[in-house]
Amino acid sequence: MPKLTFLGHACFLLEEEGESTLIFDPFLSANPQAALKAEQVKADYILVSHAHHDHLGDAYTVAKNNGATIISTAEIAGAAQGEGCQAHALHIGGKYSFPFGWVKLTPAFHGSGIPGGHACGFVVHYAGKNLYFAGDTGLFGDMKLIGELTPLDLALLPIGDNFTMGIDDAVMAASFLKAPRVVPYHYNTWPVIKANPEEFKKKVEEKTGAQCTILAPGESIRY
Ligand code: NI
Ligand code: MN
């Protein structure tokens, strides 16, 4: 069972013994919630959903320190290579098999933070399980397709509103995705994205079949 650790805001670490370690959106040094310093991260792959500072974050530092590969859209992968990092470019709807499993880029309705780019989410097949990380996005109906095309074991959803889905839209997202388990993120980092994860948990468990696990920064689950 893969181990997922929440490092604060939208940053997650995905590990399994004997497998490559993945980190999502490594915003750590400027992150008031960060559970780890960027210099402490050990990772082989870095998945970056878009180039806003709270997602691209310390990606280049972590990549250089670890000789890790950045997996992102073509625009961000190109920028990362320009900074001297290893990168693998994918784009929306595209899937690629890495030594640890496959990664497929999903749409995300949000700014890319880089000229010409798109924001994205990820479906990651890792250690036999399917994980969806939505990135920063508003709700969209095609989330139904994401769960239909790949039966999910776990969905990670932003709930903080203002920049992304808020609680009620994230509940609908969970009903579209049909993952048996959901974890909220992208809330309470700053006052503008203040949200009560207990409210999300109550609503999502009442209205969908999903079980919600709230992770404080530094906490982990196996799924
Ligand atoms: Ni953003
Ligand atoms: Mn964000």
CA 18 to ligand 1 center in whole angstroms: 32
Separation of CA 117 and ligand 2 centre (Å): 16
Domain ranges of the chain: 3-222
Give the list of residues 6+ apart from residue 191 with CB closer than 8 angstroms, or none.
none
Ligand nearest to C-alpha 51: 1
Q: Which ligand is nearest to the CA of 111?
A: 1
The vertex-77 CA angle with 183 and 111, nearest 5°, equals: 55
Query: Is the pTM above the cut of 0.95?
Result: yes
Per-residue pLDDT of the chain (223 residues; tens, 9 = 90+): 999 999 999 999 999 999 999 999 999 999 998 999 999 999 999 999 999 999 999 999 999 999 999 999 999 999 999 999 999 999 999 999 999 999 999 999 999 999 999 999 999 999 999 999 999 999 999 999 999 999 999 999 999 999 999 999 999 999 999 999 999 999 999 999 999 999 999 999 999 999 999 999 999 999 9
DSSP state for residue 57 in the 8-state scheme: T
pLDDT of residue 64: 98
pLDDT digits (tens, 9 = 90+) for 13-36: 999 999 999 999 999 999 998 999
Q: Is the alpha carbon torsion for 172, 34, 57, 92 positive or negative?
A: negative
Gap between the Cα atoms of 44 and 42, Å rounded: 7
- Going from the Cα of 158 to the center of ligand 1, the distance in angstroms, rounded, reads 11
Which residues touch 207 (CB under 8 Å, ≥6 apart)?
A: 171, 175
- Within a 10 A sphere around the Cβ of 146, how many other Cβ atoms? 23
Q: Where does 3-222 sit in CATH, by number? A: 3.60.15.10
From ligand 2's centre to the CA of 18, what distance in Å? 31
According to DSSP, residue 3 is labeled E
